[in-house]
């Protein structure tokens, strides 16, 4: 604390990521702080309305299917449509995917395309390695555009995996617009409750590190398959 | 109930009060999601016209949710003051609107009237009021409440300091609170949203917030906004709490999904009256917000404005110190854009005041809504003119724990300055004593959080 006397404001600011010690002109904030705040908001909004670059998906051989969502506005207003696959998507999955794997990996933009763009290259290969290390039979991975978390259930009905991992963009905050979550469920399908799903959230470079998250997902999936369950009763 | 009306040559029929109430709402995504909204602008206006002609007794006699089925309905029904209701029962909703807006009727008249009004009647009125009606009506109603200090006086704009931290770090919360105090924020309450909802953590946070208040003799009250049961356990262990907090829903099933019941709220009331650290008599802090019943599938096909009013019917039973709607927090599937949030903020504030509640608003939005900080600038000014009891402030409007945006400490100071409003009297005096203001104006110390540091 030697320099706290020299710079008391800096010593206060070190304790919180909150935007304190910003000063004022009259009752208003200074220009640089106002513009920084608006810039962070702009990044968050852009990540909601962005799209995941095709290049990233093809890098990992992920083909795309759609939900019943028709537009971003529709996605935001009607979460129920983001839980249901488009009719065409169902037949594509049936044709293109391995049936009844141990684990199915699905990627979706959700509320932040940027989260997938920034984190997939780190998380996806590490996740596959981790699942491989448990000798699990991995299904055919794919991307769902406009998905909600509960789209896991319909995918589960079609492909019958023992366990499913959904990597999905989180609602962006101003601190991070590129945060991803991994939702996991044992035997996803109709009637599954929120409490049956498990989640690792806040996956990004300054949050839960992507590589660490991938290893952790692998461990959880292995335990789910061994204990034949997911949710609060899973012994970790 | 079956009503039909012809509007511009087109006939519209409505098969229940529930349908009329839903279709009379201004457009909002939550009613669309529930599948109960008007299908055209004309149908919306037809519903408003039908609603305007209903009498208050019709609204009472056709319950949207039977008191036998739902204890919030029962509680609202039992609240009605028969002597007042008898006088007004044959009024139409249109006449009720005009009574409320008439120059002849001042705050006391409206608060007396309130005793004979159910939450559904108040919601019905809001549905046929314009935004400026909602502002005008609310601005007439003065609701003062006292916990450790008193707020709600005409000309006072109080504020909650919300110094949250992403890991409940006490030094971080202190730093954020110092910033708040230096802008004159925190007179309604110093209220923390904890990350960790355990008894021990709530106990610690209640102690810490109380310490901060005692250290600087701040004339305000403390609160930790966890689930009511964990606050109760902490208070029973001796934690100092001026206020006890809970989020409310407008149906029994909605409250059940929040993990609360009326007996639990009664028990909490008794506990805070016995062990609370404030002088009182008002010791509750409630939060509400349109859409929560739909999100927990506890809405019974009732529209979100009416359900929100029912939260206020529940709240007034407990004579709270403060109530606020967290208007833009719930997300775009309930309130899609700034126009809908702005309308809901004005509706909620009016409906709360019309229930006789000390109504505040968390003027806020999330990043997936079609809204930005300019919209919050607008809504805060509108609510300021409407006489809102308090608003919520976080550093530069960015809550680093809850990941949404509210008002900044600067914003609240600005609304006060532009509208000529002051902090609560004792707090305003304290700001003078600390040298943060002089004759109500900021001094050079204002905005400098380091004035509260103990540099040892």
Of A19, A73, A175, the CB nearest to B396: A19
Residue A16 lies in a domain: no
Could you tell me the residue range of the domain that residue A154 belongs to?
A: 49-227
**H or E, element range at A220:** helix A210-227
State pLDDT tens for residues A159-186. Answer: 999 999 999 999 898 988 889 999 999 9
pLDDT value at B250 more than 70: yes
pLDDT of residue B196: 84
Other residues' Cβ atoms within 10 Å of the Cβ of residue B1: 15
Q: Which residues of A touch B329 (CB under 8 A)?
A: none
Asked if A37 and B397 come within 8 Å (Cβ–Cβ), the reply is yes
Is the Cβ pair A15, B400 closer than 8 Å? no
* The pLDDT of residue B261 is above 80: yes
A34 is in an annotated binding site: no
| Mean pLDDT computed over B270-299 | 96
CATH 3.30.1950.10 fits B145-452, yes or no: no
**Does the structure's ipTM exceed the value 0.85?**
yes
pLDDT of residue B456: 41
pLDDT for residue B446: 98
In angstroms, the CA B406 to CA B411 distance is: 10
Confidence of residue A6 (pLDDT cuts 50, 70, 90): low
Q: Tell me: the pLDDT tens digits for B97-135?
A: 999 999 999 999 999 999 999 999 999 999 999 999 999
> For residue A33, is it within any domain?
no
pLDDT of residue A4: 46
> Which chain B residues contact residue A175 at CB under 8 A?
400, 403
> What percentage of chain A carries pLDDT values higher than 90?
83
| Segments making up each domain of chain B, as ranges | 145-452
Q: CA angle, corner B175, sides to B170 and B178, nearest 5?
A: 120
Three-class secondary structure of residue B362 per DSSP: coil
Q: What is the structure's pLDDT at B63? A: 97
Residues in chain B closer than 8 A to A29 (CB atoms) = 396, 408, 410
**Among B169, B410, B449, beta carbon nearest to A12:** B449
For residue B455, pLDDT beyond 70: no
With tokens 């139409």, the residue in question is B92
pLDDT tens-digit series, residues B387-442: 999 999 999 999 988 889 999 999 999 999 999 999 999 999 999 999 999 999 99
Strands B222-224 and B244-247: unpaired
Neighbours of B420 (CB within 10 A): 10
* Band (A5; pLDDT cuts 50, 70, 90): low
Q: What is the pLDDT of residues B50-84, one digit of tens each?
A: 999 999 999 999 999 999 999 999 999 999 999 99
* Average pLDDT in chain B: 96
- pLDDT at position B295, please? 87
**Confidence (pLDDT) at A2:** 42
pTM (2 d.p.): 0.93
Residue B360 neighbours by CB distance under 10 Å: 29
By C-alpha distance, which of B193, B277, B285 is closest to B235? B277
Q: Sign of torsion, CA B308 B314 B319 B323?
A: negative
Query: What is the tally of structural domains in chain A?
Result: 1
DSSP of B382-434, one letter per residue? Answer: HHHHTT-SEEEEEGGGEETTTTEE-EEHHHHHHHHHHHT-BS-HHHHHHHHHT
- Domain-located, residue A22: no
The partner residues of A144 in beta bridges, in order of sequence, read A65, A108
CATH code, domain carrying A159: 3.40.50.11240
- Does any domain span residue A21? no
Query: Is 70 exceeded by the pLDDT of residue A35?
Result: yes
**A33 with B396: Cβ contact below 8 A:** yes
Per-residue pLDDT at B195:
85
């Amino acid at each position: 604390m030697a320099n706290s006397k020299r710079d008391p404001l800096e010593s206060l600011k070190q304790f919180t990521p909150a935007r304190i010690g910003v000063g004022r002109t009259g009752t208003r904030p200074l220009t640089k702080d106002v513009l920084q705040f608006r810039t962070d908001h702009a990044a968050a909004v852009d990540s909601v309305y962005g799209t995941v670059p095709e290049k990233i998906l093809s890098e990992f051989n992920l083909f795309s299917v759609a939900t019943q969502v028709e537009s971003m506005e529709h996605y935001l207003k009607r979460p129920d449509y983001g839980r249901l696959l488009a009719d065409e998507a169902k037949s594509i999955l049936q044709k293109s995917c391995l049936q009844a794997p141990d684990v199915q990996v699905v990627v979706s933009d959700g509320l932040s395309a940027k989260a997938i763009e920034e984190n997939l290259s780190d998380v996806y290969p590490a996740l596959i390695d981790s699942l491989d290390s448990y000798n699990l039979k991995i299904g055919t991975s794919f991307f769902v555009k406009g998905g909600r978390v509960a789209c896991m259930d319909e995918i589960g009905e079609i492909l019958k995996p023992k366990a499913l991992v959904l990597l999905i963009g989180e609602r962006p905050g101003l601190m991070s617009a590129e945060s991803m979550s991994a939702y996991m469920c044992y035997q996803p399908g109709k009637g599954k409750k929120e409490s049956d799903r498990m989640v690792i959230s806040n996956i990004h470079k300054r949050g839960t590190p992507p590589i660490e998250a991938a290893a952790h997902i692998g461990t959880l999936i292995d335990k789910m398959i061994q204990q034949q369950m997911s949710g609060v009763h899973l012994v970790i | 109930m079956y009503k039909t009306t012809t509007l511009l040559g087109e006939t519209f029929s409505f098969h229940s009060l529930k349908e009329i109430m839903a279709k009379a709402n201004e457009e909002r995504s939550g009613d669309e999601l529930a599948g109960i909204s008007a299908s055209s602008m004309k149908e919306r206006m037809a519903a408003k016209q039908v609603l305007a002609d209903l009498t208050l007794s019709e609204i009472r006699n056709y319950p949207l949710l039977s008191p036998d089925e739902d204890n919030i309905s029962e509680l609202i029904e039992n609240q009605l003051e028969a002597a007042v209701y008898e006088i007004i029962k044959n009024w139409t909703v249109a006449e009720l609107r005009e009574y409320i807006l008439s120059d002849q009727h001042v705050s006391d008249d409206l608060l007396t009237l309130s005793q004979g009004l159910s939450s559904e009647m108040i919601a019905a009125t809001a549905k046929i009021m314009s935004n400026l009606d909602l502002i005008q009506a609310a601005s007439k109603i003065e609701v003062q409440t006292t916990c450790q200090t008193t707020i709600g006086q005409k000309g006072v704009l109080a504020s909650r300091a919300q110094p949250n931290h992403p890991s409940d770090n006490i030094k971080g919360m202190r730093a954020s609170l110092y910033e708040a105090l230096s802008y004159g924020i925190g007179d309604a309450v110093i209220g923390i949203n904890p990350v960790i909802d355990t008894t021990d953590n709530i106990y610690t946070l209640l102690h810490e917030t109380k310490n901060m208040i005692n250290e600087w003799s701040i004339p305000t009250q403390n609160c930790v906004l966890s689930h009511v049961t964990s606050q109760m356990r902490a208070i029973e262990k001796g934690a100092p709490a001026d206020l006890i907090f809970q989020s409310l829903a407008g149906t029994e099933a909605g409250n059940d999904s929040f993990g609360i019941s009326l007996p639990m709220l009664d028990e909490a009331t008794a506990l805070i009256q016995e062990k609370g650290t404030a002088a009182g008599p008002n010791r509750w802090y409630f939060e509400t917000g349109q859409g929560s019943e739909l999100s927990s599938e506890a809405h019974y096909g009732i529209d979100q404005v009416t359900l929100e009013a029912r939260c206020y019917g529940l709240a007034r039973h407990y004579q709270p110190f403060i109530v606020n709607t967290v208007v833009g927090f719930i997300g775009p599937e309930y309130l899609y854009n700034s126009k809908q949030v702005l309308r809901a903020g004005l509706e909620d504030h009016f409906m709360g005041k019309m229930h006789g509640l000390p109504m505040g608003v968390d003027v806020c939005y999330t990043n997936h809504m079609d809204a930005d900080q300019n919209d919050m600038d607008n809504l805060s000014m509108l609510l300021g003119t409407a006489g809102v009891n308090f608003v919520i402030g976080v550093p530069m409007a960015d809550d680093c724990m809850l990941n949404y945006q509210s008002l900044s400490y600067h914003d609240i100071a600005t609304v006060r300055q532009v509208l000529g409003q002051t902090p609560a009297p004792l707090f305003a005096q304290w700001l003078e004593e600390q040298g943060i203001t002089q004759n109500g104006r900021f001094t050079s110390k204002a905005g400098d959080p380091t004035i509260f540091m103990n540099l040892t």
